[in-house]
Amino acid sequence: MSPARPPIRVVCCIGAGYVGGPTMAVIADRCPQIQVTVVDLNAERIAAWNHDDLSLLPIYEPGLDAVVGRARGRNLHFSTEVDAAIAAADMVFLSVNTPTKTRGVGAGQASDLRWIEASARQVAVAARGHTIVVEKSTLPVRTAEAVKAILAAAQGDGHGGKTFSVLSNPEFLAEGTAIGDLEAPDRVLIGGEDDAAIEALVGIYSHWVPESRILRTNLWSSELSKLTANAFLAQRISSINSIAALCEATGADVREVARAIGSDSRLGSRFLQAGPGFGGSCFQKDILNLVYLCRHYGLEAVASYWEQVVSLNSWQQHRIASKVVQSLFGTLTGKRLAVLGFAFKADTNDTRESPAIRICQDLIEEGAQLAIVDAKVEVAQIALDLEQAPLEAAAGAALAGEGGWLPSASALEAARGADAVLILTEWAAYRQLDWVAIAALMRRPAWLFDARAIADAEAARAAGLTVWRVGEG
């Protein structure tokens, strides 16, 4: 066992993204005696974190502005001075992106670890004295081995006797509820081999997390638990979406089935919401990473088992687009569709892997003209995701027959002249739409395709729309 060390006074986090920003804001808020600096190479992102107007933080997350407002400038800092922040820190969190590799060995499945490697190398060079390095990013099991090897090479480089301990502390927050998840986590997971380092990190969380919720494991269990948690959550969504398709074919209702099975305490009621398939930056990438690892270790049957969760998800997205095409007499050319919601879920501005991307691409490919509205997603982001600029308004009005899209400011504006309304994100506002007003603006016959099953279907039907809801037979 290593000797006890003084409590952590200075923390650095590399990566000011959806995880680094909110996680460090909550640590700073709950531990006023610890100085926390979040660093990033992206100067624009850091400038946004430092913006005087808290409504202009780089990510939208309910409650984040209040937490940042309390701690920023006191013991929470955002900076591009990466080396200086590392040098000053007792503990460095690595919270950089780990997307799927797009080329080379493992392309399409393995995690691209170039950012984790680069940040580990930077810590190796810039650290001073003893530094605890914490993997916060989601990583393939046994990544800590590579991080340790990079750091070990620096231990003997003659720069003032630096030493390192490596911990795994994966993050389980979900976007849209990140602040609540961080302030009252179901559990905090810490994997490591150095007891003193583990207890130093426990010392931070124990400021607000009960001891019974802090789990200690070995490094590899911790890394693997994160991938496994996301795989199990995503598997539930693919499972309920597969049953939704069967409900539509048989006259059952997936919400009734979900309630019936969710009442079994062994199954539980959460994560049984059928929809357009899971999106977000992590479920798909983490499962594909698990699949890659299984193949790497020769476990082909296990790999193909998990691969199916992702295939079913893609199938569900294409299925919804096909449903729209079939219902609108097999062609979308010259038709206008109001698309409500583009974020991958409500209460975030994140569109990474949003089901809306694939569904909208399919519809545009069929010649549809989409009027897209989202409360938080910027027009430029939609253009990037759809890989095409918005149509000129005039060309849009001409309904030229070419597929394309236009941004819309409101559901009402999007519905003007539309043949169908398509709900893709469960923003609260879409639960209370004025269907009489919307129907009056639409071309007849008019449809509502509710891929989230959140709209008032009765009101829409009463207003004259033909309604399709995911999972309703």
Active site residue ranges = 282
User: 435 CB contacts (<8 Å, ≥6 apart)?
Assistant: 448, 455, 456, 459, 460, 462, 463, 465
Binding flag, residue 175, ligand NAD (CB under 6 A): yes
Binding flag, residue 275, ligand UGA (CB under 6 A): yes
User: Residue 156 corresponds to which tokens in the numbers above?
Assistant: 């003997």
Nearer to ligand UGA, 24 or 86 (CB): 24
- Residues numbered 24 to 83 that lie near ligand NAD (CB under 6 A) are 39-42, 45, 82
Task: Judge contact between 130 and 164, C-beta under 8 A.
Answer: yes
Binding flag, residue 280, ligand UGA (CB under 6 A): yes
User: Residue 450 corresponds to which tokens in the numbers above?
Assistant: 């509710």
Does residue 62 come out as left (phi exceeding 0), alpha (psi in the -120 to 50 range) or beta? beta
User: How far apart are alpha carbons 342 and 381 in whole angstroms?
Assistant: 10
In the complex, what is the shortest distance from the CB of residue 166 to ligand NAD, in angstroms, rounded to a whole number? 16
Binding flag, residue 222, ligand NAD (CB under 6 A): no
Task: Judge contact between 269 and 259, C-beta under 8 A.
Answer: yes
In the complex, what is the shortest distance from the CB of residue 447 to ligand NAD, in angstroms, rounded to a whole number? 33
Closest residue to ligand NAD in the complex (CB): 17
From 14, 76, 182, 309, residue interacting with ligand NAD (rule: CB under 6 A): 14
Binding flag, residue 171, ligand NAD (CB under 6 A): yes
From 35, 119, 131, 138, residue interacting with ligand UGA (rule: CB under 6 A): 138
Nearer to ligand UGA, 97 or 369 (CB): 97
Question: Would you say the C-alpha torsion 101, 107, 111, 114 has a positive or negative sign?
Answer: negative
Q: In this chain, which stretch among 48-56, 66-74, 267-275, 300-308 interacts with ligand UGA, using CB under 6 A?
A: 267-275
In the complex, what is the shortest distance from the CB of residue 195 to ligand UGA, in angstroms, rounded to a whole number? 26
- Residues numbered 326 to 365 that lie near ligand UGA (CB under 6 A) are 344-345
Nearer to ligand NAD, 49 or 430 (CB): 49
Binding flag, residue 96, ligand NAD (CB under 6 A): yes
Task: Judge contact between 57 and 16, C-beta under 8 A.
Answer: no
H helical segments located in 251-299: 254-262, 283-296
- Residues numbered 188 to 247 that lie near ligand UGA (CB under 6 A) are 230, 233, 237
468 binds, among ligand NAD, ligand UGA, none (CB under 5 to 8 A by kind): none
Nearer to ligand NAD, 286 or 366 (CB): 286
Binding flag, residue 273, ligand UGA (CB under 6 A): yes
- Residue that has been written with the tokens 């009734």 in this structure: 256
From 35, 75, 131, 138, residue interacting with ligand NAD (rule: CB under 6 A): 138
User: Residue 264 corresponds to which tokens in the numbers above?
Assistant: 């079994």
Cα 449 to Cα 192, 359, 455, 460, distances in angstroms = 49, 12, 10, 11
Binding flag, residue 19, ligand NAD (CB under 6 A): yes
- Phi, psi (5° rounding) for residue 466? -90, 125
H helical segments located in 297-427: 300-327, 355-365, 379-386, 393-397, 411-415
The site for ligand UGA (CB under 6 A) is made up of 138, 171-175, 230, 233, 237, 271-273, 275, 278-280, 282-283, 344-345
